[in-house]
Amino acid sequence: MKKTAWILGVAVLFGLINMPAQAQEKRNFGEKLLKAARKCDINQIVKMSDEKEVTADDLNVTDANKKTILILLAENPSCKVALKRWHINHVIDKGVNLNARDNAGNTALMYAVEKNDSAFVWTLIHKSSSSLREGLDVNMVDNHHRSALILAAQTGDVSKVRFLLEREDIDVNIQDDKGYTALIYAAKGSNRDIVRALIRDRRFNSRLKVDVNKQTYAHDDYVEGGEEYGGHSALMWAVKVPNYQIVSLLIERPELDLSLTDAMYGMTAFDYAEEACKKRTTKEKVFSGDIDRIEMLLHAHMRACEEKTEKEVLDKLTRSMGKPWNPGMGTSVWW
């Protein structure tokens, strides 16, 4: 009995002695893994992940900025040359946390959208959706409350936007810390393809509930905040840019509220269109009409800014209405 107790005591003591060594070995493994990720050495990462007794915790090691190996790979644009789809799949299958966030609040998906290529984004979205583990959360936000979809709209990459919209759980109405949605950024950036994908693409329209009337947040100090905090809607930005095609896409939505005013000057999209025309031409324009014709009048404003002549504006309106222009309809344009 005493001999057995002595043997157990020695075993416990031996284990305690070896614990610091095991912890140091684990730290060295983690540092080696992170170093390989910083160098985009994906072959080394795959090799290390296949070693015996390597756990998901080992692969989810983080650096001082809480960056995982997947985040380091996603944030480095040069990695897209070395990375192959099966490499990313292999690392994901080994148990890498898809939703890990660094100190800036960014996930691997956010970095892939902002800095890497479409293939990386596609792999993260489609691989995670078929995984038996916890899937990718596409609606996570960074420290500025920007989602992956907002970042994709900011970068102007319509292919990444479409990949994200394929996810049925995507929230298209998330607002960042300035109140911008993906739609507002697309309108401000004059990106017609992204606006069309968000509000007109038949593959997504049946389930996407894009709020076309969202406005950026108002700011107590408009001089400091400027237009970033001016309470602008997507339509207002489309008029201010100006981009007639985006205006046309937006006014197709029956729920579009043309009476919305911004927080800076109390101006509507119509007011901005009129102001833009006056600034861009020397001739004074006087517009009048009833509320029922305001959509058509907004079209006339945008065309007047782009084409400058009454005849071209009226010809466009005639074709869009399918009947001759009649100034007595309730809306008139004088030059």
pLDDT(309) > 80: no
Residue 68 and residue 178 in one domain:
no
pLDDT(185) > 50: yes
In this prediction, residue 329 carries a pLDDT of 41
Domain boundary among 118, 136, 154: 136
In this prediction, residue 1 carries a pLDDT of 56
Residue 131 and residue 146 in one domain:
no
Q: Is residue 24 part of a domain?
A: no
pLDDT(288) > 60: no
Please check whether residue 66 is in contact with residue 103, taking contact to mean a CB–CB distance below 8 angstroms.
Answer: yes
Residue 180 and residue 147 in one domain:
yes
The CATH number of whichever domain residue 125 belongs to comes to 1.25.40.20
Provide the mean pLDDT of the chain. 77
Q: With cut-offs at 50, 70 and 90, classify the pLDDT of residue 287.
A: very low
Q: Is residue 226 part of a domain?
A: yes
Token pair belonging to 262? 């911004």
Domain boundary among 92, 114, 136: 136
- Per-residue pLDDT reduced to its tens digit, 72-116: 999 988 887 556 677 788 888 888 899 999 999 999 999 999 988
pLDDT(323) > 70: no
Cα–Cα distance between 132 and 11 in angstroms, integer? Answer: 39
In this prediction, residue 222 carries a pLDDT of 47
Cα–Cα distance between 252 and 114 in angstroms, integer? Answer: 30
H-state helical runs in 212-266: 222-225, 234-240, 244-250
- Sequence length of the chain is 335
Residue 94 and residue 159 in one domain:
no
Which segment, 19-28, 128-137, 189-198, is predicted with the most confidence on average?
A: 189-198
In this prediction, residue 174 carries a pLDDT of 97
Q: With cut-offs at 50, 70 and 90, classify the pLDDT of residue 285.
A: very low
Domain boundary among 224, 257, 290: 257
Residue 146 and residue 125 in one domain:
no
pLDDT(130) > 50: yes
Residue 106 and residue 36 in one domain:
yes
pLDDT(14) > 70: no
H/E stretch holding 286 reads strand 286-289
Q: Is residue 14 part of a domain?
A: no
Write the CB contacts of 9 (distance below 8 Å, at least 6 apart in sequence). Answer: none
Q: Is residue 25 part of a domain?
A: no
Residue 250 and residue 289 in one domain:
no
Q: Is residue 301 part of a domain?
A: yes
Q: Is residue 112 part of a domain?
A: yes
In this prediction, residue 123 carries a pLDDT of 85
Residue 79 and residue 125 in one domain:
yes
Higher per-residue confidence, 317 vs 193:
193
In this prediction, residue 333 carries a pLDDT of 34
Residue with tokens 């990718």: 136
Residue 132 and residue 210 in one domain:
no
Q: Is residue 208 part of a domain?
A: yes
Give the DSSP letter of residue 285.
Answer: -
Residue 110 and residue 179 in one domain:
no
Number of domains the chain contains? 3
Residue with tokens 């292999």: 90
- Per-residue pLDDT reduced to its tens digit, 112-123: 999 888 888 888
In this prediction, residue 274 carries a pLDDT of 74
In this prediction, residue 314 carries a pLDDT of 52
Q: Is residue 103 part of a domain?
A: yes
Q: Residue 194's domain spans which residues?
A: 138-257
Cα–Cα distance between 212 and 111 in angstroms, integer? Answer: 27
Residue 148 and residue 79 in one domain:
no
- Per-residue pLDDT reduced to its tens digit, 28-85: 888 999 999 999 888 888 888 887 677 888 889 999 999 999 999 999 888 875 566 7
Residues of the chain with pLDDT > 70, as a percent, come to: 68
Tell me phi and psi for residue 29, to 5 degrees.
-65, -45
Closest by alpha carbon to 229, among 168, 177, 153, 290? 177
pLDDT(334) > 50: no
Residue 132 and residue 147 in one domain:
no
- Per-residue pLDDT reduced to its tens digit, 233-280: 999 998 888 787 888 888 888 888 888 999 888 998 888 877 766 665
